[in-house]
Chain A
Amino acid sequence: MFAAFANPARFMSLSAWLTPVLGAIAFILFAVGLPWALAYSPADYQQGETVRIMYVHVPAAWWALAIYAFMGGASLIYFVWRHALADVAARAAAPIGAVFAGLCLITGSLWGAPTWGTWWEWDGRLTSMLVLFVIYLGYMALRSAIEDEERSARLGAILCMVGLINLPIVHFSVVWWSTLHQPASIFRPGGSAIDPSMLGPLLTMAFAYLALFGALLLMNMRAAILRRRVEGARLRGAA
């Protein structure tokens, strides 16, 4: 599968049918997950209705981290093997990861105001998540600022790989420091601490975000490949 995707021509034909499939899966999962999260899941005995923010906040946080890990892997592949499609994948994933990280911060703030009594607190989890968001923006700014594609890809890959150091900090911040943010309640030793009536909509929304990411990533990659083809042809025409 990876070998098939590694060839741009084969990638274009595979992604042509895979993109609408992922888009349709995302649409169906959102159509199921949103009413489940907003109407059919119970309110929390302490948080009340605000617990429903978790269904949009937690998937945004998970995938913002996972997308950055994906970008780091793609950057490493580009840096070691100089595979152009790996660079296209890393660059295409960045704006999606940035939006997910931004949504995580905003929805977290909207949950924190009624629950903690504050919109923002400079604790380990919130600050490291903000750093992740800034790294996303920095990566995109760097890639746009350098015209030479190869240099932009090389420096972007280095920045992305250096930024990977922030991922364990985000994940373990609630363990390492005494933070306002609660510790992990799903990915923890001893299994999930969330009631199945809340875990169902949460996982549905998480897979909806994942399918949406897949569709948008493929669309962004297709656009980048087409742009390179067009610009390459124009340069050859001008020469």
Chain B
Amino acid sequence: MIHSGWAYVEAAYGVTLTGLAVLAIVVAARLRHWARQARTLEDNGASSTKNGAAS
């Protein structure tokens, strides 16, 4: 039987949880970035339509 295996277990779980957390943060940040860009574009489009209608 293998003794003192906890160091390897801790390293494996540390790497896995860090990797998955970093992936989730990057994906969420990317979605947030493009959602904000799309909203800005929609707001600009709406205001330019209003301005166009006013003039």
| Partner-B contacts on A (CB < 8 A) | 34, 38, 44-50, 52-53, 56-57, 60, 95-96, 99, 102-103, 106-107, 110-111, 113-115, 212, 216, 219-220, 222-223, 226-227, 229-230, 233-234
In the docked arrangement, what's the CA distance between A60 and B17, Å?
12
The answer to whether B27 and A114 have CB atoms under 8 Å apart is no
The answer to whether B31 and A222 have CB atoms under 8 Å apart is yes
Q: Number of B residues contacting the other chain (C-beta, 8 Å)?
A: 27
The answer to whether B5 and A96 have CB atoms under 8 Å apart is no
Interface of B is mostly: helix
Give B32's nearest chain A residue, CB to CB: A223
Known: A50-B2, A220-B27, A223-B33. 4 other contacts (CB 8 A): A49-B2, A113-B8, A223-B31, A226-B35
Q: Known A38-B13, A56-B16, A113-B8; judge A96-B23 contact (CB<8 A).
A: yes
The answer to whether B23 and A95 have CB atoms under 8 Å apart is yes
A212 contact set on B, CB distance < 8 A: 20, 24
Interface 0/1 of B18-50, CB less than 8 Å to A = 011001100110110111011001000100000
In the docked arrangement, what's the CA distance between A103 and B41, Å?
38
The answer to whether B12 and A216 have CB atoms under 8 Å apart is no
A229 contact set on B, CB distance < 8 A: 38, 41
Interface of A is mostly: helix
In the docked arrangement, what's the CA distance between A229 and B35, Å?
10
B37 contact set on A, CB distance < 8 A: 226-227, 230
What are the 3 A-B residue pairs with the smallest beta carbon separation, nearest first?
A50-B5, A226-B34, A49-B5
In the docked arrangement, what's the CA distance between A16 and B3, Å?
48
In the docked arrangement, what's the CA distance between A50 and B30, Å?
36
What's the least CB distance linking B37 to chain A, in Å? 5
Give B16's nearest chain A residue, CB to CB: A56
B54 at the interface (CB under 8 A from A): no
Q: Known A48-B2, A216-B24; judge A110-B12 contact (CB<8 A).
A: yes
What's the least CB distance linking A47 to chain B, in Å? 6
B53 at the interface (CB under 8 A from A): no
Of the candidates B13, B16, B31, the one having the most CB atoms from chain A within 10 angstroms of its own CB is: B16
In the docked arrangement, what's the CA distance between A103 and B1, Å?
25
A53 contact set on B, CB distance < 8 A: 8-9, 12
Give A228's nearest chain B residue, CB to CB: B34
The answer to whether A107 and B15 have CB atoms under 8 Å apart is yes
A219 contact set on B, CB distance < 8 A: 27-28, 30-31
The answer to whether B8 and A227 have CB atoms under 8 Å apart is no
Q: Known A216-B24, A216-B27, A230-B34; judge A60-B41 contact (CB<8 A).
A: no
The answer to whether A48 and B1 have CB atoms under 8 Å apart is yes
What's the least CB distance linking B33 to chain A, in Å? 8
A44 contact set on B, CB distance < 8 A: 1
What's the least CB distance linking B35 to chain A, in Å? 6
